[in-house]
Amino acid sequence: MAYAVEFAKRSNGLLDPTAGRLVSLWNIGHEGAHVPTAADIAAMQKLCDYQKLELNKDKHELYLTEKGMEIDLGAYGKGFAADVVYKYLADQGFNSAIIDLGGNIYAMGQKPGGKDWTIGIQDPDQKRGIPIGNVPINDKTVVTSGIYERYFIENGKMYPHILNPKTGYPAENNIGSATVIADSSTTADTMATILVLMGVEDGLKFAESIPNTEVLFITKDKKLYATPGFKEMLNKTNDSYKYAN
């Protein structure tokens, strides 16, 4: 939880672990999801404030200072789980494995035989398994967060599951997906969500502040924006996607 609060601070509250009531209100990815009323959204926004979350690390306790607030750790869960699995395998003596939690990949070591793993980068416009390219990695995690993962459509408009507590509404920009390569899957998972909310310009600046990470944005108009390290690694296989930086 301390980790979630740290990144809430780093993102100036853009990713807020106390957004549970807002997430439940929208209920995206579940039956009956629809656009809530503006009044209901505003009411739930008032219950999003990580500064009202108090931690007692010694007792492993947390306290929400305002009645009605709820925790949501959906942006961190799979990444944390991947790190736990990695540690378990390492403790058991494994040095080569692929941990795949759907959008969260952790490549432990190299493949048997000593070659790097090849990880595909999903095309946001296509069904799962169709990439725009791939990256060779070893002992790294690759996490992608995109608007295509969970969403609903109402009156012809798409509403993705990534919510912005500042507006109370789902992310609304030109980002199709953000992919992060890092040493920690928790970090990569957290960052990928933040980057979708931040957008390209602020997201690339934010990535510079996090050591040992590489980032790729794919925009809705098929443009690629990447950190130098990611651009060097990416073997692009779809010519309809072009670098814009």
pLDDT, tens digit, 9 for 90 and up, residues 1-31: 888 999 999 999 999 999 999 999 999 989 8
Mean local confidence (pLDDT), 67-85: 94
For a pLDDT cut of 90, what percent of the chain falls above it? 89
User: Is residue 4 within 8 Å of residue 20, measured between CB atoms?
Assistant: no
Using DSSP's 3-state secondary structure scheme, residue 135 falls into strand
Backbone angles phi, psi at 100, to 5 degrees: -120, 110
Q: What is the mean pLDDT of residues 69-92?
A: 95
Spacing of C-alpha 2 from chain mean position: 18
Give the pLDDT score at 58.
Answer: 87
∠ CA 27-33-38, nearest 5°, is 80
Answer whether 62's CB lies under 8 Å from 55's CB.
Answer: yes
What are 107-127's pLDDT values in tens digits? Answer: 999 999 999 999 999 999 988
The angle at the Cα of 217, spanning 231 to 127, to the nearest 5 degrees, equals 105
In the prediction, which pLDDT does 111 show? 95
Helices 2-10/185-198 angle, 10° precision: 30
* Averaged pLDDT score across all residues of the chain: 94
Decide: 22 and 169 in contact? Cβ < 8 Å.
Answer: no
pLDDT of residue 149: 81
Domains and CATH numbers, the chain: 2-64 (1.10.3980.10), 77-243 (3.10.520.10)
Spell out the residues 6+ positions from residue 127 whose beta carbon is closer than 8 angstroms to its own: none
pTM equals 0.93
- In this model, does residue 132 exceed pLDDT 80? yes
Does position 157 have pLDDT exceeding 80, yes or no?
Answer: yes
**Whether 93 contacts 82, CB under 8 Å:** no
Instruction: Quote the pLDDT of residue 2.
Output: 85
- Per-residue pLDDT band for 59 (boundaries 50, 70, 90) equals confident
DSSP string, 73-91: -TTTHHHHHHHHHHHHHHH
Q: Residue 3: its pLDDT value, please?
A: 85
Percentage of the chain lying above the pLDDT 70 cut = 100
Q: Is the pLDDT of residue 216 over 80?
A: yes
Taking 80 as the threshold, does the pLDDT of residue 103 lie above it? no
Which pLDDT belongs to residue 11?
94
pLDDT, tens digit, 9 for 90 and up, residues 159-188 = 999 999 999 999 999 999 999 999 999 999
Confidence of residue 57 (pLDDT cuts 50, 70, 90): confident
Q: Distance (Å, rounded) from C-alpha 37 to C-alpha 39?
A: 5
Whether pLDDT at 102 is above 90: no
> Of 62-66, 76-80, 126-130, 239-243, which gets the smallest average pLDDT?
126-130
Residue 232's pLDDT band (cuts 50, 70, 90): very high
